[in-house]
Structure formats: C-alpha cells, structure tokens
Amino acid sequence: MTLAATTELAAATNEHLANLSNTLIYSAMAVYTLAFFAYITEWIFGSRSKIGRTAAALTEGADGKVKAPAVTVKKGGSTAVLERPKVVVRAAAGQRDVPDGPGAHGGDEQGDLYGRIAVSLTVLAFLIELAGVIARAASVERAPWGNMYEFNITFSTVAVGVYLTLLALRKNVRWLGLFLITSVLLDLGIAVTVLYTASDQLVPALHSYWLYIHVSTAILCGAVFYVGAVSTILYLFKDSYENKLANGGKPGSFATSFLERLPASASLDKFSYRVNAAVFPLWTFTIIAGAIWAGDAWGRYWGWDPKETWAFITWVAYACYLHARATAGWKGRKAAYLALLAFGCWLFNYYGVNIFVSGKHSYAGV
C-alpha cells in the first residue's frame, strides 16, 4: 500500500471515529434526559409522601432536645419501623440538633424505585459518554481536551464519575442527582451547539506529556469543585429553611416538601467543606504542573497570562475559604459565600478567559 493510500485510510478511519464520538455523545444526552425525568419522578413521589414529611419533622423529646422521630411504613399489609434519620449538630452559631432528611424519595417506596432507575440510567449514560470521549481521543490520536468542546464533554463525564464514585462508596449523595444531571445536560447542549470543533491536531506548544498531567488534573478538580458548589448552594437554602422554622416561621409548601428531604444544613456544610479541602492539594499541583509545562513550551514558568492569573486567583480564593474555616472558625453562611466566590473564579477562568480574553492560552479557540 502506498503512502498516499495509507494516509487516506487513516484520515477516513479518524473521520469515522469522530462521527462515532458525536453519535455516542448525542446518545448519552438522550439517556441523561431519561435519567433527568426519573430523578424528577423520584422527587415528585417524595413530595407526596407523608412518610417523608414525618421523617424530616423535628420533635422535642423529654429532655428538651430536638430529636428525629421513628418512621412507620405499611408494606404488604404489615407495618415496619424504619431506622430514624441520623441526628447531626449544626456547626454554625446557635447549636441545635437537626436530622438529615430521608432523601429525594421522601421515604416513599415507589419514589425510591424511580431513584434507583435514575441512578441506573445515569450509569448507562456515563458509560456511553465515556465511550464517546474515548472515540474522540482515538479520532485525533491524542488526549481529548485540546479545545473547549473536548474539555466540556470530558468535564461532564468526570463530574458524573465523581458522583457515581461517591454513591459506590455509600455516601449520602443521591440528592445531588437531579441537579448534577440538569447541569450536565446544559453543559453538553452548549458543547454540541456552541462550542463544537471538528477533530484536529494540536498546536506545537501542546505536544507534551504535560497535556495529560496538567489538563486531566484541572478537569478532575473542576468536577469536584462543582460538586462542592452545588452542595454549598443547597446548604444556603436549607439553612434559611431551618432558621425560619427555628424562629417560628412557616415556609411555603413547595419549600417544605423540597428542603425537608435534603440532609441537614450542617451535613451539607460539612460535605462541601470536605470535598473542597480534599481536592485543593490537587489544584495546587495543577498550577505547579502548568508552570512547569509553560517553562518547557515558552521558556518561562510564569508570565501572568490571563489563564495563569485567574488560576492563581482561584487558588487564593479557595485557600482563603479553607484558611477561614480552619483558623478563623468561619462556618455556615460566611464560609459558603467564600466557597461560591472561589467557584465563580474557577468558572470565569474556564469560560470567561477562554472566550473573552486573549492570551497564550487562546491557541485552541473554542
């Protein structure tokens, strides 16, 4: 076979793989959509469940402390008593015991079934999307994150992977499913409509093994930061809900039905802190790896390029958040605002800098 024929065959193979990748990404979006509706159904059944409302209600024991009641469920003509939710203590000022909610299904058996179906669909969609990312990598014969389209599809895959890993570790995170899948669908929608870029080779500066190290860790950090941001936002809503109840207020029926099923605000606050703290050392390594790569590619380790500057600003923001929690004793809403500010810096570093600011990292366009 001649060199020209070999080149033509390789080009045709790469084009076929690129088309396969696109098909798999669209298929994953379809399955994610089914999972989205299953998560919605889980929340709907949970909102109709008196069991869920009972499990989340606060009752005062004989010792004057707030405790979680036991929950009875009728099943098959008999009555079973479920283990009452674990009681946790809020870390914010004004200590009070608040039980974790029963979850999106609200203790409803049918709601729980739809929740399990949603998780199964999420696993299937994740595997399909992962195959799409791998096919994209094979079509370009490199790591699949040379432009914003590839970064987006890889980022959403990793974010779902983080969620499924936490579920596999038996962490109480199924309440994240609806919010995660909603944002993943938005992310993929933007990727295939606005950010799509045909398969192409990298510019010379990116031909380095540091591409695999630096960008892969950046994607993983972003996925974990995102999970922390979602839990932080939900914490703010749940904290307001608990404060209103504590002050004798009566939240609306929708807020009550939705928020009572989430973990206690203290649990959400602790969860967001732990995930942010766990990934922060990796984000530090990401910046260091990027500096080393810049030294190899451009002959200088740091040049205050917009991307470098905002990566450092993001690092400082998360460092302030963790420092405030560890030394100044900031917990609760003040720490949550700092965490969201830090995640906002990460988002701007990715979308804002890539789209609106020119610099050495603008080589890939979108």
Beta bridge partners of 87: 99
DSSP letter for 213, please: I
Degrees, nearest 5: CA angle 26-29-35: 150
pLDDT of residue 68: 44
What distance in Å separates the CA atoms of residue 70 and residue 113, rounded to the nearest whole number?
22
pTM: 0.81
Per residue of the chain (366 residues), give pLDDT as tens: 575 656 666 667 778 888 899 999 999 999 999 999 999 999 988 876 654 455 445 444 444 444 444 444 444 455 444 444 443 334 444 445 678 888 888 888 888 999 999 999 999 999 999 999 999 988 888 888 878 888 899 999 999 999 999 999 988 899 999 999 999 999 999 999 988 887 766 666 666 777 788 888 999 999 999 999 999 999 999 999 988 888 888 878 778 888 888 899 889 999 999 999 999 999 999 999 988 887 876 777 777 788 888 999 999 999 999 988 887 677 788 889 999 999 999 999 888 887 776 655 554 455
Residue 24 has which token pair? 């798999």
Beta bridge partners of 60: 66
Rg of the chain taking only CA atoms, in angstroms: 23
